[in-house]
Amino acid sequence: MKRICLFPGTFDPVTLGHTDIIDRALPLFDKLIIGIGRNSNKDPMFSEEERLAWIHEIYKGNPKVDAVVYDGLTVECCKKVKANFILRGIRYVNDFEYEKAIADMNRSIAENIETIFLTCLPKYTSVASTLVRDVLRNGGDVSQFLPKAVIKSIKRRR
């Protein structure tokens, strides 16, 4: 059986924290699908098309990486893409408590889908899309937090 993993999130924008988790997870799986979830509680700064384009650009040479946009439950997206793992990144202890509750719920709904947690490297613990968006809205420089493809796209946008 292939080890297919879904890494769900909003990726608004894709940060170096995200790519750190993706890059370190790649050797663990046969395929890693980045799931850009539509969250009705969030008003994204960047379009789904931009976020998909960033992932495709960052990982264009890697056939193990793909990306999808999805609505609804993450476990339902897993079923659609035939993923048997969910990847989640952990920055702090409170991230783990929140993510464990979600993992337990997902396990109750779909017991054949396992959640895998990876802690981010210490240099990325403060890199959160929410904080990056705040800095961007206020005209600050976010280049140290974002992959080159994202920086280029944002600069073209301005």
Which residues have a catalytic role annotated?
Answer: 18, 42, 91, 129
Cα distance between residue 99 and residue 106, in whole Å: 10
For the chain, report the end-to-end CA distance as a whole number of angstroms: 46
∠ Cα 78 126 37 (to 5°): 25
Name residue, tokens 């056939």: 63
Cα distance between residue 11 and residue 46, in whole Å: 9
